[in-house]
Amino acid sequence: MLSKKCFSYGNIRERGAWRALVLTIFTLLAVGGMILSLTKGALDISLNDIISAVFFDSSGANWQVIWNIRLPRTLVGALVGINLALAGAILQGVMKNPLADPHIIGISSGAGLAGVTIMILFPHKEYLVTPIAFVGAMASALFIYILAWRGGIRPIRIILAGVAVSAFLNSGISALMVFYSDRVHGALMWMVGGLSARSWPHLDIILPYTIVGGVLAILGARRLNLLNLGDDIARGLGLNVEVSRIAMTAVAALLAASAVSVVGLLGFVGLIVPHAARLLVGSDYRYLLPASAILGVAVVTLSDTLARVAFSPIEIPVGIIMAFVGAPFFLYLLRRDA
């Protein structure tokens, strides 16, 4: 059935079945990804051991590895996948631009400059990276908002302001890296994005944003659908276009900032996952948002597993794997759809 053309069928019943099928496959991938992420690594652990370690017994041999390393890392990966995919899906709708992603509203460059500054200038204060990166991300998103505001937010002004502000902040990152080239390694790893050594505290940081942001995103699904009809039509249908656009951008900013500040600048998920989901389930946000979130979980957990086992014992940052495997797959989807 997957060989069928992507989402374009008129028959409503057939379309419902298709959506259900795609969502089921995404869910299986996500669950499979999480299981693989728990079982595979420097040490292969059986699923039985994992279930007993998580739910029953804290005395088993691998309990430490499972409970303190694998489980939190897998969960952080899953939530990061959800957050970035939702943020990207929302922004693509709000900006009505297929290239919109958390970069466009300055999340990545803001978090990037703030995080790199801490890592390079204050390496002994590394615990500050996450909160400062979050502040940096939100500050730069807010700054772009203010720059783009003129009696309302027009997507094209946000995008242009975003490009300019990001270029400005990125030059700061580059300057830091050039001046302190001896300290670049950690910063570089963080700029690519990775899940290594992510544990329970990180989960605590990101979880509230996933819950609140996820709920707000789903509640905003119909508004996003209306925005996709164009401002004139949406306004005619009684949507408060400006308020909706600002509110949904803010939701996306929180989702992305919380994810990026924890795992670094994972670029790929927020751009490609929502597109892949859209190609398969269509543009109705009531289905697109859950589909993107679930696919985000699958992509991040699967990529992270691959990142750990591909060149074991050396671990590659997940951001590299994701773009390396994901980009060709996305191009395949794109060709097939055209």
Using CB under 8 A, list all residues that contact other proteins.
7-8, 10-12, 15, 151, 219, 222, 225-226, 228-233, 235-240, 282-284
Nearer of residues 12 and 197 to other proteins, judged by Cβ: 12
Nearer of residues 1 and 178 to other proteins, judged by Cβ: 1
For tokens 């996306």, name the residue.
252
Q: Within the chain, where are the H helices?
A: 12-39, 47-51, 63-64, 71-94, 107-121, 129-148, 155-179, 184-192, 200-219, 221-227, 231-236, 241-263, 268-281, 285-309, 318-337
Minimum Å gap between C-beta 222 and other proteins is: 7
Nearer of residues 237 and 310 to other proteins, judged by Cβ: 237
Residue 196 and residue 71 in contact, taking contact as beta carbons nearer than 8 Å: no
Minimum Å gap between C-beta 331 and other proteins is: 19
Minimum Å gap between C-beta 88 and other proteins is: 17
Nearer of residues 3 and 11 to other proteins, judged by Cβ: 11
Minimum Å gap between C-beta 49 and other proteins is: 44
Cβ contacts of 183 within 8 Å, gap of 6 or more: 119, 120, 123
Cβ contacts of 74 within 8 Å, gap of 6 or more: 34, 37, 38, 301, 304
Nearer of residues 63 and 231 to other proteins, judged by Cβ: 231
Nearer of residues 73 and 245 to other proteins, judged by Cβ: 245
Pairwise CA distance, residues 303 & 308, whole Å: 9
Pairwise CA distance, residues 71 & 39, whole Å: 10
Whether the upstream peptide bond of residue 313 has omega within 30° of 0, thus cis, is yes
The radius of gyration of the chain from alpha carbons, rounded to an integer in Å, stands at: 20
Nearer of residues 15 and 183 to other proteins, judged by Cβ: 15
Pairwise CA distance, residues 143 & 101, whole Å: 17
Nearer of residues 201 and 230 to other proteins, judged by Cβ: 230
For 108, counting Cβ atoms within 10 Å of its Cβ (0-12 exposed, 13-18 middle, 19+ buried), the class is: buried
Cα separation values, 308 from 44, 172, 267, 321, Å: 12, 31, 19, 10
Minimum Å gap between C-beta 284 and other proteins is: 7
Task: For residue 129, give both structure tokens.
Answer: 């990276």
Task: For residue 280, give both structure tokens.
Answer: 């398969």
Nearer of residues 231 and 324 to other proteins, judged by Cβ: 231
Pairwise CA distance, residues 327 & 325, whole Å: 6
